[in-house]
Amino acid sequence: MRQYASPYKGHLAASVVLNILSAVFNIFSFAVLIPILNILFKVNDTVYSFIPWGTEGMSRKEILLNNAYYFFSTMAQEHGTMFTLLLLSGVMIFFTVLKTSSYFGSNAVMIPISTGIVKDIRNRLYNKILSLPIGFFSEERKGDIIARITGDVSEVENSIAASISMLIKDPILIIFYFGILTWMSPEMMIFTIVFAPAFIWIMGLIGKHLKRSSLEAQTLWSDTMSQVDETLGGLRVVKAFNAEKKMSARFDNVTDRMRHKIARVSTRQQLAHPVSELLGTLMIMIVLCVGGAMILRGQSFFGGKFMDAPQFIYFMIILYSVIEPIKELSKATYSIPKGLASMERINRILEAENPIKDPKNPQPLDGFRQGISFRDVSFSYDGNRQILKNINLEIPRGRMIAIVGESGAGKSTLVDLIPRFWDVSQGSILIDGKDVRDVQVKDLRALMGNVNQDPILFNDTIFNNIAFGVEGATMEQVVAAAKIANAHDFIMEKEEGYNTNIGDRGAKLSGGQRQRLSIARAILKNPPILILDEATASLDTESERLVQDALDHLMSTRTTIAIAHRLSTIKNADEIIVLHEGRIVERGKHDELIALGGYYKKLNDMQAL
């Protein structure tokens, strides 16, 4: 947490100063009560005279109190008792204004710290999500990640506020209040100093298991978010299979478990107030009885003069004031463990290793001139079952290579290795003779454009979706790309044209329209290498024709690697690679592979039925 707080050192320093002022002004504001009570109740008939500072045989405290009494008694004699009471009341109000202003200021300067730290954590978490490889998210649920960036960060925010109080505000108040109490009556502090550590220890004992319970509660919150995300993504299937009751029962189960866990955490939290109230009352009553006994005796238990009644009342007020920061300190023992539990979950993402790293001395990659080479490439996701086995493949610049095979053959995995969404387990992939692991990832991916089976669009305007990833794209460039992608006509039919918002994941568009926007985006990027992952597999015949025409324009001047489900779309490919169980089993042109009568012909015949 220290790394997040370091940019806000100025605010922390201001908070320290303002909390000190608040404590000092609070002490002075209540100190005015002593002469007020003396005047109102005429506690004694002592006639005071001024005593010079440093007079032998008297302590500084005795001299200060004597001279204060002398000053106010003289004022009452000269100007009247009522005038003196009004003046003292004004002084008390003045110090109270200063105290409350300092208290407000100390809290106000902390707001930028807590909100700023939360913003920094969210930004760092989001940027980490962007930097992590795709493989990381195959093992994490999207709802769980959303829960960490929302609920967990909110818990951290509450913990930050508690930490600031525990480390700055409350210790300052406790030190100053105990300081004035000790100055007033060291012997009375013997009866009070024991209670503060006992207070905190008992409250800490109650919250001992709070961190573990909070961690479990946050995990259940992640389960809830995951189920909501799954439901929204699969709502059409849920309704089609009349599975509303089943999904409702699943959701009710996880929310019920979360309710029980949160109830346990909240019950433990609610103990803070009554327990602290009880302990505070016990401390006040013990001190009151001990102090009252010494006042009745007229001297302390250790001999010597004891406080008079107004001083003792002031002592009790300050003692009561110190209870509040002690209570806040004990509450922090609840909020901080909850925040630490959430921070553990956040750190699982922040501290996750990214195996896709740039080399220390990257080789330059300023274009694409020769081709792509796969040399004895093997790949496994988990180090056990190999998905690809000994792949050797040459893709010369300007050629179209198609990759076909049954589901699970490794087609998508093969093309994902080129932009380093994954790294090869064995072998190497070369671009223009340079291993892709020896160049910067940014330079590598700048050479490539992707068009996927499921178009990935954003809840933004058509213009921004086409211009995505291209800095400074103009409307003329976007329109030109849309025309090549056969998208311009349907865009202009929209009321707001290119400024039309397409909804979440392009929900306001048809499948063919979404795919053509995806192609327009790739056209605008103008990459020398194009990767098509079954770009027309999910389209109807008419949409497929429009999209295929757009793809033909896109592929005409580029090196293209196309994963094909419909073999009719890749008959004109320069070379067709047939994968079976992670191996290349056949390769050649369409007619050559048909003549072989092997896997490719089998796939072709199945689609011809």
Over residues 344-371, the pLDDT tens digits come to: 778 888 888 888 888 888 898 888 889 9
∠ CA(34), CA(38), CA(40), 5° rounding?
A: 115
pLDDT class for 428, splitting at 50, 70, 90? very high
Find the range with the poorest average confidence among 348-352, 385-389, 399-403: 348-352
Tell me what pLDDT residue 40 has.
63
| Residue corresponding to tokens 């330059």 | 364
pLDDT at 538 over 60: no
Q: Which of 224, 213, 177, 169 is nearest to 196 (CA)?
A: 177
79-88: long-range contacts at Cβ-Cβ below 8 A with a sequence spacing of 24 or more? 81/39, 84/35, 84/39, 85/36, 85/39, 85/40, 88/32, 88/35, 88/36, 88/39
Find the range with the poorest average confidence among 170-174, 269-273, 383-387, 604-608: 269-273
CATH architecture of residue range(s) 127-352: Up-down Bundle (1.20)
The full set of domain ranges for the chain reads 1-109, 127-352, 371-608
CATH of domain 371-608: 3.40.50.300
Q: What integer is the mean pLDDT of 233-246?
A: 72
What's 110's DSSP letter? T
Tell me what pLDDT residue 445 has.
87
Residue 368 vs residue 288, higher pLDDT: 368
